[in-house]
């Protein structure tokens, strides 16, 4: 089996085992990547904090988590795409924008994937029945044109919230309008009304210059005066708490 094919097979295994609580040894030293499109390249640092080496594959996709590395589409090149990481060592990735046309008035979002494949057991262990787990980490890449209006930190306060009927016809959902050119990601958000709290524990993201629906389990008709509380995430992964009234 060729190396890229082997890694793709490992990716399928990683997806199938995603429900098992475990963690890979290769760590991305950030939770998001900001790529100013007027820069030639951006670097991302990985570290291997285990006592064993790992085989690592990296690629960028446009939001499809099921896209294989050879199928993923994005206007970026990442190098090196496949490499061995020694134990307790670091590796720097280079992300290079290919120059493909992107909207000049708002951010675009892509995803960096890091697949960590542990080594095969050696010695007597190799003869035993063993199962190796491959772990994939995905983080967002925000491709940011130069000279956008405003700042990312001021964007959460400009969001407009309202209650709408849920698409499935059951209860209501949160509709958030984002008039800014920046994506706004949430680590948590909740609706407070009439002494009750309805939470969305999965977070979500409001696209720039767009409208996004965010599900809130159990949310039904609420009285006037309801409000939404949220925690947005800054460029540096710092929490940005906010609160806003809900329109009806």
Q: CB count, 10 Å around CB of 128?
A: 7
Domain boundary among 119, 144, 169: 144
| Residues 106 and 78 occupy one common structural domain | yes
- Tell me, yes or no, whether 185 lies in a domain: yes
What does the pLDDT read at residue 167? Answer: 80
Domain boundary among 113, 144, 175: 144
- Low-confidence residues in the chain, pLDDT < 50: 1-6, 8-22
| Residues 80 and 183 occupy one common structural domain | no
- Tell me, yes or no, whether 2 lies in a domain: no
What does the pLDDT read at residue 81? Answer: 97
Per-residue pLDDT tens digits for 27-62: 999 999 999 999 999 999 999 998 999 999 999 999
| Residues 158 and 197 occupy one common structural domain | yes
**Tokens representing residue 19 in the block:** 């429900």
| Residues 219 and 183 occupy one common structural domain | yes
**Residues 6 or more apart from 242 whose CB is under 8 A from it?**
156, 157, 159, 229, 230, 231, 232
What does the pLDDT read at residue 217? Answer: 79
Q: Are 95 and 43 in contact (CB under 8 A)?
A: yes
Domain boundary among 106, 121, 144: 144
> How far is Cα 35 from Cα 29, in angstroms, rounded to an integer?
15
Q: Are 114 and 26 in contact (CB under 8 A)?
A: yes
What does the pLDDT read at residue 225? Answer: 77
User: 97 - beta bridge partners?
Assistant: 76
| Residues 176 and 222 occupy one common structural domain | yes
**Tokens representing residue 201 in the block:** 């524990």
What does the pLDDT read at residue 200? Answer: 83
Query: How many distinct structural domains can be found in the chain?
Result: 2
- Length of the chain in terms of residues written: 248
Q: What's the predicted TM-score (pTM) here?
A: 0.85
User: 36: domain range?
Assistant: 7-144
Helices and strands (H, E) in the chain, number of each type: 1, 17
Classify each residue of 39-63 as buried b or exposed e, where b means 16 or more C-beta atoms within 10 Å of its C-beta.
eeebebebebebeebbbbbbbbbee
What does the pLDDT read at residue 91? Answer: 97
């Amino acid at each position: 089996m060729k190396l890229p094919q082997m890694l793709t097979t490992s990716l399928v295994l990683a997806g199938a085992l995603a429900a098992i609580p475990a963690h890979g040894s290769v760590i991305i030293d950030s939770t998001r990547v900001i790529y100013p499109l007027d820069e030639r390249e951006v670097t991302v640092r990985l570290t291997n904090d285990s006592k064993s080496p790992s085989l690592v594959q990296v690629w960028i996709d446009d939001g499809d988590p099921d896209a294989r590395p050879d199928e993923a589409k994005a206007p970026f090149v990442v190098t090196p795409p496949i490499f061995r990481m020694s134990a307790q060592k670091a590796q720097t990735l280079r992300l290079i924008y290919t120059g493909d046309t992107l909207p000049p008035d708002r951010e675009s979002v892509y995803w960096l994937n890091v697949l960590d494949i542990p080594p095969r057991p050696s010695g007597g262990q190799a003869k035993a029945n063993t199962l190796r787990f491959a772990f994939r980490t995905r983080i967002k890449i925000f491709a940011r044109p130069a000279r956008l209006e405003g700042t990312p930190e001021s964007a959460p306060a400009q969001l407009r919230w309202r209650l709408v009927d849920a698409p499935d016809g059951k209860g209501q959902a949160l509709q958030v309008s984002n008039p800014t050119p920046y994506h706004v990601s949430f680590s948590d958000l909740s609706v407070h009304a009439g002494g009750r709290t309805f939470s969305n524990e999965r977070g979500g993201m409001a696209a720039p210059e767009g409208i996004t629906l965010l599900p809130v389990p159990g949310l039904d008709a609420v009285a006037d005066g309801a409000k939404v509380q949220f925690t947005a995430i800054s460029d540096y992964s710092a929490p940005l708490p906010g609160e806003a009234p809900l329109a009806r």
